[in-house]
Amino acid sequence: MNEPLISFRGVGKTFQADDKDVEAVRDIDLDVARGEFVTLVGPSGCGKSTLLNMTAGLLAPTTGTVRYNGRAVDGVNRHTGYMTQNDHLLPWRTVAANIQVPLEIQGRSRAEMRDKIQALMELVGLLGFEKSYPAQLSGGMRKRVALARLLAYDPETLLLDEPFAALDAQLRLNMQIELLGLSRRLNKSVLFVTHDLDEAAALGDRCVVFTARPGRIRAILASPLPRERDLMRLRHDGQYVRLAAELWDMITPTLAATRGETA
């Protein structure tokens, strides 16, 4: 394998919250190759979002380094596009105008913007809602607008934090198919956080499983599935079923542990 696109070396992050320190992640070593789709799973609060934040350069690690394309990430990493857990749409802009923001920043022409927005609205299944304001949309629709906005500026690497959490099963499958197809077609690298283990197994080239906080890598499971896969038919794929089961077996003990902690 040639040089990784993203590499975490001994990465740890401790937050100073008021009087007590919160260690979010510890000793993370992880390489992500160009064009690779990596899914991240682990109990709530184990630092998955924190890892994405460090990849995007929004947070600096307390220990270790995060490298992108061989260079230590220092400040905003513009090669990445980030769809955060909160959708962060601009409430004063309509759906179309929200998707238009990155295009305006890039200084595209009106016609170009119109065509691109049209294509993206179609992709995320929101045709007819161009003129709606975010406050008038459902949670799932807002997520889709955020995804369309992310795709509008076409970043090299996609950081997705539970992007499909609020969608119904059919829509989620549709979006998964679109995302996977698109990332393969354009050879995008993807870091994809999800709580849905089936989703993690279905999409990932590799699935990274984290322990409860402080999050450490518990296991990295390489997917036996081919890069091009038919998500529609996965249910009947023995390899997929085994991978998903393996993830379940791994997560359930940590789940019990976190429940014990909060009880």
Partner 1 sequence: MNRRRALAGRRFRLQLYRLGMAFIFIAAWQAASGPLIPEFFISKPSAILASLRAQVATGNLFFHIGITASEAFVGFALGALAGVAAGVLLGRIHFLADLLQPFILAFYSLPKIALAPLFILWIGIGMTMKIVLTGTVVFFLVFLNTFTGVRTVSKELEAILHLMGASERHVLTKVVLPSAVTWVFAGLRISVPYALIGAIVGELIASNKGLGFVLANASGQFDTAGVFAALLVIMMLAFALNALVRFAEIRLMPWKTSGAQLDREITI
Ligand X SMILES: Nc1ncnc2c1ncn2[C@@H]1O[C@H](COP(=O)(O)OP(=O)(O)OP(=O)(O)O)[C@@H](O)[C@H]1O
15 sits near partner 1 (criterion: CB under 8 A): no
Do residues 79 and 246 make contact, with C-beta atoms less than 8 angstroms apart? no
Residue among 154 and 249 whose Cβ is closer to partner 1: 154
Q: Which of 24, 89, 243, 251 binds ligand X (CB under 6 A)?
A: 24
112 sits near partner 1 (criterion: CB under 8 A): no
Residue 135: CB minimum distance to ligand X, A: 24
Angle of CA points 51, 202, 30, to nearest 5°: 30
55 sits near Mg ion (criterion: CB under 5 A): no
Q: Which of 4, 41, 42, 49 binds Mg ion (CB under 5 A)?
A: 49
Query: Distance between CA atoms of 18 and 23, rounded to whole angstroms?
Result: 13
Question: Which of 59, 40, 65, 84 lies closest to 217 in space, CA to CA?
Answer: 40
Q: 101 touches which of partner 1, Mg ion, ligand X, none (CB within 5 to 8 A by kind)?
A: partner 1
Extract the tokens encoding 231. Answer: 């998500």
Distances (CA, A) of 57 to 4, 106, 167, 244: 17, 21, 28, 31
Residue among 74 and 104 whose Cβ is closer to partner 1: 104
Element (H, E) at 48: helix 48-55
For residues 72 to 101, the per-residue mask of contacts with ligand X, x marking binding by CB under 6 A and - elsewhere, is -------------x----------------
Q: Which of 3, 15, 21, 88 binds partner 1 (CB under 8 A)?
A: 88
Extract the tokens encoding 12. Answer: 């740890």
Q: Which of 43, 47, 61, 102 binds partner 1 (CB under 8 A)?
A: 102
Question: Which of 69, 66, 64 lies closest to 33 in space, CA to CA?
Answer: 69
Q: Which of 101, 166, 177, 182 binds partner 1 (CB under 8 A)?
A: 101
Q: Which of 44, 138, 187, 252 binds ligand X (CB under 6 A)?
A: 44
22 sits near ligand X (criterion: CB under 6 A): yes
Q: Which residues lie below 8 Å from residue 14, measured CB to CB, with a gap of 6+? A: 21, 22, 23, 24, 62
Q: 15 touches which of Mg ion, partner 1, ligand X, none (CB within 5 to 8 A by kind)?
A: ligand X
Question: Which of 170, 162, 163 lies closest to 148 in space, CA to CA?
Answer: 163
48 sits near ligand X (criterion: CB under 6 A): yes
116 sits near ligand X (criterion: CB under 6 A): no
Residue 72: CB minimum distance to partner 1, A: 18
Extract the tokens encoding 216. Answer: 């450490």
Residue 242 DSSP class: H
Q: 213 touches which of Mg ion, partner 1, ligand X, none (CB within 5 to 8 A by kind)?
A: ligand X
Radius of gyration of the CA atoms of the chain, in A: 19
What is the bridge-based pairing of β-strands 217-222 and 71-72? unpaired
Q: 24 touches which of partner 1, Mg ion, ligand X, none (CB within 5 to 8 A by kind)?
A: ligand X
138 sits near partner 1 (criterion: CB under 8 A): no
